[in-house]
Amino acid sequence: MAAAAAAGRVLVYGGRGALGSQCVQYFKSRNWWVASIDLAANEEASANVVVRVTESFPEQAEQVTAEVGKLLGEEKLDAILCVAGGWAGGSAKAKSLYKNCDLMWKQSVWTSTISSHLATKHLKEGGLLTLTGAQAALSGTPGMIGYGMAKGAVHQLCQSLAGASSGLPSGSAAVAILPVTLDTPANRKSMPDADFSSWTSLEFIAETFYDWITRKNRPNSGSLIQVITTGGKTELVAAHL
C-alpha cells in the first residue's frame, strides 16, 4: 500500500509484544501505515526497525534513531505508541536485583526515552506520544523494586514532556497509560488462577489509543491515566501525584 493512501501513520515501539502486536493489527485494519520497532520484525507491519541488542544505551538509541530517520525521511507521524516493557519481581534483598533492575531499565526507560526523542523529530504538530507506566508504581513496590523504579521514571518523563520547553511539537501531547494487569497470553500462563475479569483487554488499549490520536477524549499532555478493569468493565482514571 502506498504511504499516500494511508489513513494515518503510527510508529509502535515494542511492536512484536502482545500489546504492540495488537496495536499493529488494529491500526493496519483501519488502513493506517504502521511501523514496528522491536528486537525482531512484525510481519504484519508496513515497515520494521529491528533493534540491535547492546549494553550501551547511546549505541542502541543512535541505531534506532538513525534507522527511523531513514525510514521516514520528511514524513511525519500522527502518533508514536511506546508499548515496550516487561516485568520482573524481587525485593532489594533478591540475588537477581541487579540483573532485574538492569532489564527493567532497558525495557521501559530506554524505550521511552528513545520514543520521546523520536517524537521531537518525527511527530506532527498536534500528534500523540503514549508511554507505558504502571498503576502499581504510583506507590512503593517492595516486591518488585526494579519494575517500580523503572515505571516511576516513565511517569516522571511523561510529566516532563508536558512542559513548554520539552521539545515536543506544538500542540502535541504525551500521555502515559498505567495498567493494572493486561490480559496477555504470558500473564494467563503465569497466573492461571487469577480473576481475568479484572484484567484489561489489549483491544481496549488499542481502541483507546485510536480515540486519543483522533482527539476523542484525549487527556491533557502529561496525564498519567490509570486503566482499571472490574468485572470486565474498564475505566480510565487520571492519577494525581
Note the pLDDT of residue 240: 85
Q: How many domains does the chain have?
A: 1
Note the pLDDT of residue 183: 86
Are the C-beta atoms of 151 and 165 separated by less than 8 Å? no
Q: Which three cell numbers stand for residue 196?
A: 481475568
Low-confidence ranges of the chain (pLDDT < 70): 1-4
Distances (CA, A) of 156 to 19, 111, 141, 150: 22, 14, 16, 10
Q: Decide: helix, strand or coil at residue 213.
A: helix
Q: Which three cell numbers stand for residue 83?
A: 508499548
Q: Which three cell numbers stand for residue 110?
A: 530506554
Q: What is the CATH number of the domain that holds 121?
A: 3.40.50.720
165: Cβ contacts below 8 Å, ≥ 6 apart: none
Note the pLDDT of residue 212: 98
* Residue 107 CB burial class (10 angstroms; 0-12, 13-18, ≥19): buried
Catalytic residue annotation: 147
| pLDDT tens profile 54-103 | 999 999 999 999 999 999 999 999 999 999 999 999 999 999 999 999 99
| pLDDT tens profile 118-138 | 999 999 999 999 999 999 999
The boundaries of the domain holding residue 75 are 3-238
